[in-house]
């Protein structure tokens, strides 16, 4: 793998611009369902930041939550606790998302001036911003147009070192190759739904508020959660709930949904939650519909397949010694990452029918974290949603 190339044939500005048509065709061929445009945020290409552009990039000393800024702009200097600015946990911004395991991510990736990173799940921009503050360059992706719009404003002072493209991270090879890149010093994906998506009732990810049953991370995608709930066969619903939510009452819940929709279509989050609650006992503090909503979200957005596709492709885009960081939020995701890293780091493969082990042609990684890193109690107190986060790290072999 050779160094990253920045000779892009496109003329980009700091505003949203539709990328060259050929890039769009790549996405369409990759079957990125429902995406009609590929957007870019930030300046391009990069030929290295000058001294003035690096002045506001002092490393953060905050290990938890969002970093704080002065009133001089979203990329201004960090402020100490108690100073004016955006505080930890505040939600007065149009798109907020507390980046989980931020200090641990930075320790794994070791960002520095001159290094190039890929963030496949830009979200609120917390992880990307921390990388940029340390002088690194970042190519980011997100399929959520709201996230990209917020990133444009929040990270505009880093436009000479930051570029964000719209799309699902599973298709990153086609997208970044079309943009003229060929290798990264580190790669990061933070799997799952953001705080903003959960708390925005119009997105339909949560049953805490009455809202249309949507759950699409890419709002241009055709299928909503309500479409699946109202058309899938009972057996298919039970499979989804059991396989993606590990819901023990999957069959009973699927049966209740099919019965309910026969008299009235299920269109809202609370409507579905009430149907599930009526036939599924409450387990501890967790709402009976929690696992069903998780399963639906995974199915609608094809999340597990997207993660597998990313893990299969990412190592080839890492420079020797580059690191891959994956943050997951439930056992299904973490299991895929654990097994994927294990296969990609195994020197030899063996099967009962073989006379002897054989070299593993896919062995390109070294696992750094034998056990996943979890959030500290201090971070959980600030951001309770970090409780289920798990971080795993692998490193590209030097040869």
pLDDT tens-place string over residues 129-180: 999 999 999 999 998 888 888 888 899 999 999 998 888 999 999 888 887 8
Question: Reduced to 3 DSSP states, what percent helix, strand and coil does the chain have, rounded to the nearest 5?
Answer: 40, 15, 45
Shared domain for 339 and 362, answered yes or no, is yes
User: Is residue 2 situated within a structural domain?
Assistant: no
Torsions phi, psi for 338 (to 5 deg): -60, -50
Shared domain for 201 and 191, answered yes or no, is no
From 258, 280, 301, give the residue that closes a domain: 301
Shared domain for 58 and 187, answered yes or no, is yes
| CB contact burial 53-79 (16+ within 10 A = b; e otherwise) | beebbeebebebbbbbbeeeebbeebb
Q: What is the pLDDT of residues 77-136, one digit of tens each?
A: 332 333 333 333 334 445 555 799 999 999 999 999 999 999 999 988 999 999 999 999
CATH code assigned at 27: 3.40.50.150
What is the average pLDDT across 218-239?
93
Contact by Cβ (8 Å): 53, 209: no
User: Is residue 8 situated within a structural domain?
Assistant: no
Shared domain for 154 and 286, answered yes or no, is no
Give the chain's mean pLDDT.
Answer: 78
Spatial neighbors of 334 by CB under 8 A, at least 6 apart, are 328, 372, 390, 392
Shared domain for 296 and 317, answered yes or no, is no
Shared domain for 250 and 286, answered yes or no, is yes
Report the pLDDT value the prediction gives residue 97, as an integer from 0 to 100.
59
User: Is residue 351 situated within a structural domain?
Assistant: yes
Give the N- to C-terminal CA distance of the chain in Å, as an integer.
10
41 vs 211, residue with greater confidence: 211
| CB contact burial 328-341 (16+ within 10 A = b; e otherwise) | bbbebbbebbbebb
Shared domain for 244 and 316, answered yes or no, is no
From 278, 301, 324, give the residue that closes a domain: 301
17 vs 325, residue with greater confidence: 325
Shared domain for 21 and 40, answered yes or no, is yes
- Give the pLDDT band (50/70/90) at residue 198: low
Shared domain for 54 and 110, answered yes or no, is yes
Range of the domain at 331: 17-195+304-396
Shared domain for 28 and 146, answered yes or no, is yes
CA atoms within 13 A on the CB side of 39: 19
CATH code assigned at 235: 1.10.150.170
Shared domain for 203 and 315, answered yes or no, is no
* Chain centroid to CA 374: 17
CB atoms within 10 A of CB 270: 16
Rounded Cα–Cα distance for residues 200 and 364 (Å)? 40
Rounded Cα–Cα distance for residues 384 and 393 (Å)? 23
Query: What is the number of domains present in the chain?
Result: 2
User: Is residue 150 situated within a structural domain?
Assistant: yes
What is the average pLDDT across 351-358?
93
Q: pTM (2 decimals)?
A: 0.76
From 272, 301, 330, give the residue that closes a domain: 301
CA dihedral 158, 172, 168, 64 (to 10 degrees): -50
Shared domain for 249 and 358, answered yes or no, is no
Is the confidence at residue 356, as pLDDT, over 60? Answer: yes
User: Is residue 140 situated within a structural domain?
Assistant: yes
């Amino acid at each position: 793998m050779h160094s990253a190339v920045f000779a892009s044939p496109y003329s980009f500005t700091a505003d949203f611009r539709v990328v060259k048509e050929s890039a769009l065709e790549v996405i369409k061929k990759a079957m990125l369902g429902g995406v009609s445009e590929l957007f870019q945020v930030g300046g391009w290409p990069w030929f290295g930041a000058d001294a003035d552009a690096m002045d506001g990039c002092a490393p953060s000393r905050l290990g938890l939550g969002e970093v704080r800024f002065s009133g001089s702009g979203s990329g201004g200097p960090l402020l100490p606790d108690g100073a004016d600015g955006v505080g930890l946990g505040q939600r007065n911004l149009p798109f907020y998302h507390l980046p989980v395991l931020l200090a641990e991510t930075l320790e794994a990736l070791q960002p520095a001036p001159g290094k190039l990173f890929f963030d496949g799940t830009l979200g609120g921009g917390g992880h990307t911003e921390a990388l940029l503050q340390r002088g690194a360059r970042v190519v980011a992706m997100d399929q959520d147009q709201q996230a990209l719009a917020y990133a444009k404003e929040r990270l505009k002072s880093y436009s000479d070192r930051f570029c964000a493209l719209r799309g699902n991270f599973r298709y990153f090879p086609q997208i970044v190759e079309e943009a003229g890149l060929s290798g990264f010093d580190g790669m990061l994906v933070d799997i799952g739904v953001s705080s903003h998506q959960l708390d925005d009732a119009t997105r339909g990810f949560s049953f805490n508020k009455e809202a249309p049953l949507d759950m699409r991370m890419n709002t241009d995608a055709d299928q909503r959660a309500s479409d699946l709930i109202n058309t899938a066969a009972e057996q298919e619903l039970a499979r989804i709930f059991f396989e993606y939510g590990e819901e023990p009452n999957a069959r009973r819940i699927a049966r209740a949904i099919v019965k309910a929709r026969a008299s009235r279509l299920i269109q809202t989050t609370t409507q579905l939650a009430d149907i599930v609650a009526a036939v599924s006992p409450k387990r501890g503090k967790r709402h009976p519909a929690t696992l069903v909503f998780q399963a639906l979200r995974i199915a609608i957005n094809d999340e597990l397949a997207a993660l597998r596709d990313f893990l299969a492709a990412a190592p080839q885009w890492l420079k020797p010694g580059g690191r891959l960081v994956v943050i997951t939020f439930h056992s299904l995701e973490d299991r895929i990452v654990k097994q994927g890293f294990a296969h990609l780091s195994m020197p030899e493969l063996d099967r009962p029918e073989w006379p002897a082990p054989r070299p593993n042609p896919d062995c390109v990684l070294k696992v750094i974290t034998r056990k996943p890193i979890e959030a500290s109690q201090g971070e959980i107190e600030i951001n309770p949603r970090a409780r289920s986060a798990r971080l795993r790290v692998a490193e590209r072999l030097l040869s």
